[in-house]
Amino acid sequence: MNLNSRPLLLTLLIALCLSLSSDAYAKKGDKTKEPPQVQKIAFINLRVIIEGYKSFQEDIAALKDEVKEREAQVKERQAAIQQQMQVAQTLEGEAQVSMVEEIQRAQSDLQILVQSTKRLLTTKESDIYAKAYKSIRQTVTTYARKNGIVAVFNLKEKSLEEDMSNPGSVLQRINREAFWIEPENDITDNILEELNGEEREEE
């Protein structure tokens, strides 16, 4: 090889290396300049879900029936006490005193029963709501993760449609949290289908 050609060959090798390094740096720079991925969010109307959640509504209906039953029991005992009071008015002496004491014990027992019943029913109601909330939260979490949703917000209004014929309604909507959302981002119906569908599968 001609010695005079070595400087030229060395120059070409250096140029090639610089070109490759430049391309690699450019590609690396392009990656860092990629636009950030858009995070997907969704909305639910928890009130609508509660109203349409069949298991929850069945539990509430059963609780209401129990409330009516216990109210009937209380009224029955009140009526019995009222009858004893009428009888006591016809008695005299120790017989009347004994009847009055019996009435007082019955009234005290009834008051205790009413208070304990209220606590029991309140606890049952809280348990029903807690159970429903837990189930709804689990369903929303599963649905969101499956569909790439990073956040789900509670939409407190049943509808965002404007009613311009009612000035009062328009004024109330001015302060609402959600002014407008893309309809496809409202997953309320999807969650209800999942909840009620799971119940059919369990049956």
pLDDT at 2: 46
pLDDT at 39: 83
pLDDT at 182: 82
Taking the complete model, does pTM exceed 0.85, yes or no? no
The single-letter DSSP state of residue 83 is H
pLDDT at 156: 75
Structure tokens at 72: 């009937």
Ranges under pLDDT 70 in the chain: 1-37, 157-179, 198-203
Cα-based distances in Å from 97 to 15, 109, 115, 152, 199: 120, 18, 27, 67, 59
pLDDT at 3: 43
**Residue-wise burial string across 15-24, b where 16 or more C-beta atoms lie within 10 A, e elsewhere:** eeeeeeeeee
